[in-house]
A and B are shown apart, each in its own frame.
Chain A
Amino acid sequence: MNEERIKISQDLLSDGFGLIAASGYINNEGGQAIADAANKLMDQGCKTLLIDLDGTRIINSIGVSILLEILEKLMDEKGQLAFCNLTPTISKTFEIMGLVQYASVYSDREAAQSAIAGDASV
């Protein structure tokens, strides 16, 4: 089950815009690892976070509930959360649990970056 262990990387893409790439099982540990990365980026001034789930195929509701907490924290800061590279099942799970009502979903990283950069220029 080692291939399911979450792997996280984070990057500051531009001023106020951070990227978290996560692949593996998003359970309580995986969700917390993403939350820790989000907190670090928010501490650096990021109010827009893109979470790229390329390589993530299995999640559970405990992990997704931690993602909801990240969303709430960003909303409190008037920030925004976006996701890309979701499988259809993860996308449906996010829809059922209400994440996609408040976060943006993009097909891939390029589409997300270009849409978010477009928003920032308005």
Chain B
Amino acid sequence: MEVVLHLPVVPNVELVAAKAVEALGGALGMHQTHVEAASVAMVEACLNAMEHGGGPFTVRLRSENQESRPCLVIEVEDHGEGFDPATAPQNSASRVLGSTMKRGWGLTLIRELMDEVQIRSGPGMTQVSMRKYVESAP
């Protein structure tokens, strides 16, 4: 099973990608809680692609069987300037409350809500690849 979406930068287009997570996660027999976690991670990855990618972006979803463990694989690819994932800011609640800067939670949420996350980025291409196992920890 594979779904590929080429998405324009328009309001709420991230919900189209979230619907695809729902459909594929449901078809894989994934628990609703895991589907919702993957949907929020997908939404955050799409928002980052729209904010930093500078144009249309691509979302790919597929099922895989990683060492006999079925999982949903999500890739979000944009064509922006890129960034160094190692130095990307990690947000924390203590830093945000009382500050005027409350943004920048996307990567933190993606890493916390998904089982595995890989980011490849360079000038002209950033790809966030994430995996959620059907039998994932709660």
Contact = CB atoms under 8 A, between A and B. Distances in A.
A-side binding surface: helix, strand, loop or mixed?
helix
Contacts, number: 76
A91 B98 CA distance: 21
Nearest to A89: B36
Interface residues of B, number: 29
A60 B46 CA distance: 11
Contacts of B106: 61
A27 B14 CA distance: 11
B15 A101 contact: no
A4 B14 CA distance: 12
Range class of the A interface residue count = 20 to 34
B-side binding surface: helix, strand, loop or mixed?
helix
A118 interface: no
Interface string B8-21: 00001011101000
Interface of B: 12, 14-16, 18, 33, 36-37, 39-40, 43-44, 47, 91-94, 96-98, 102-103, 105-106, 108-109, 112-113, 138
Given A60-B43, A72-B97, A87-B36, 5 more contacts: A58-B36, A60-B14, A65-B102, A93-B109, A96-B112
